[in-house]
Amino acid sequence: MKLVRSLLIALSVVAPQHLSAQPNAVPVTIIVPYPAGSTADVLPRLAAQILTEETGRVYIIDNKPGATQTIGMRAAASAKPDGNTILFASATSLVMAPAIKKALPYDPIGDFEPITLTNIAPLYLIARRDLPVKSISDLLDLARKQPGKLTYGTGGYGSIAHLAGELLKSRSGIDIVPVPYTGAGPALRDVIGGHIDMTFTGSLQGMTEQVRVLATTGATRTEAMPLIPTVAESGLDGFEVASWFGFLAPAGTSEDIVHAFARDIGRVVTSQEFRQRMESSGNEVEIKTSTPAEFRALIVGQIPLWKSIVKAANILPVD
């Protein structure tokens, strides 16, 4: 009897430990609503590699692009809140889409538990090499002389490139025509190929010799290209458009799990190793982490901001 009692006591101690460790045997799936190999795919893929190396738990990328990121967002919103699925998303789907869409198949506030920001990304306004412009002023002059003739590529209706273009139109009074693509990469390639006149892109990936870089849309010049002026410097005071990216979990994920992810992801993306690997891949990003509460406050605060921008630009919400 003493032996049986001893075994029962041992099991009562060991069993809870075994059960709590069991979920770590399950890979963490990171849903990325962008195509594999795209600019927005680089950061989460690298983070997944380092997290796997450092934590011993496997992190895998599940790319679900399409419908201006809606497909991936919907998949993450419907995932079980068990700590086995997280999402890598951007300002486009979390605060811009609510401003441009009449309805969404997900709630950017109610369907997710913010984990942490990872980076902020201003855009570059670029033009094809043979377009006869060397600055924003030149571009505005040309557009005013040829209303409705110049084209700019977007990542789809309501994407950050689309809204940046519409904001440029409303602030300057020019008439340029949006051309929708499935992502920033195809739009960039068509600028290089001369099929469209310009686009807004977050990364040039060594293509600066193939396009004309006219300006950056951030509040300040970028570290990567300090000689390129901001749009505001070029004459449009107050013009500022920057996307940001971060990780979220499905709503209902426990606070402990959310904070554990925030701790691990924050440590990885702020490490020197992460920065070196990003730079070696040709991608330089401005790392910006946050607490879960700070990330939630950002989302809640920017939705009405972008709604006001959309309204001021006379952009009609779509289905």
Same-domain check for residues 32 and 172: no
Same-domain check for residues 292 and 204: no
Same-domain check for residues 212 and 138: yes
Least confident of 7-11, 77-81, 98-102, 227-231: 7-11
Least Cα distance to 29 among 74, 61, 57, 55 occurs for 61
Q: How far apart are CA 54 and CA 173, in angstroms?
A: 52
Q: How far apart are CA 269 and CA 117, in angstroms?
A: 10
Q: Which residue has the higher pLDDT, 23 or 192?
A: 192
Least Cα distance to 161 among 115, 126, 114, 112 occurs for 126
Least Cα distance to 84 among 217, 210, 261 occurs for 261
Same-domain check for residues 165 and 35: no
Same-domain check for residues 45 and 95: yes
Domain that holds residue 109: 25-121+243-312
**Within-domain flag for 60:** yes
Structure-token match 């799990």, residue found: 257
Q: How far apart are CA 67 and CA 307, in angstroms?
A: 20
Is the four-CA dihedral 298, 302, 303, 304 of positive or negative sign?
A: positive
**Within-domain flag for 256:** yes
pLDDT in tens, 269-300: 999 999 998 888 767 678 999 999 999 999 99
Is the four-CA dihedral 250, 254, 255, 258 of positive or negative sign?
A: negative
**Within-domain flag for 231:** no
- What's the pTM? 0.78
**Within-domain flag for 227:** no
Whole-number pLDDT of residue 121? 82
pLDDT in tens, 13-55: 333 333 333 346 799 999 999 999 887 899 999 999 999 999 9
Q: Mean per-residue pLDDT for 132-140?
A: 95
Whole-number pLDDT of residue 9? 35
**Within-domain flag for 265:** yes
Same-domain check for residues 128 and 114: no
Distance of alpha carbon 301 from the chain centroid: 17
**Within-domain flag for 163:** yes
Same-domain check for residues 115 and 135: no
Whole-number pLDDT of residue 281? 74
Is the four-CA dihedral 87, 91, 94, 100 of positive or negative sign?
A: negative
Same-domain check for residues 96 and 163: no
Give the SS3 label for residue 230.
strand
Please check whether residue 24 is in contact with residue 171, taking contact to mean a CB–CB distance below 8 angstroms.
no
- If one counts the domains in the chain, the total is 2
CATH number at residue 198: 3.40.190.10
Band of the pLDDT at 153, cuts 50, 70, 90?
Answer: very high
**Within-domain flag for 45:** yes
Same-domain check for residues 128 and 113: no
**Within-domain flag for 96:** yes
Q: How far apart are CA 228 and CA 213, in angstroms?
A: 7
Same-domain check for residues 108 and 188: no
Same-domain check for residues 129 and 168: yes
CATH number at residue 265: 3.40.190.150
Same-domain check for residues 251 and 192: no
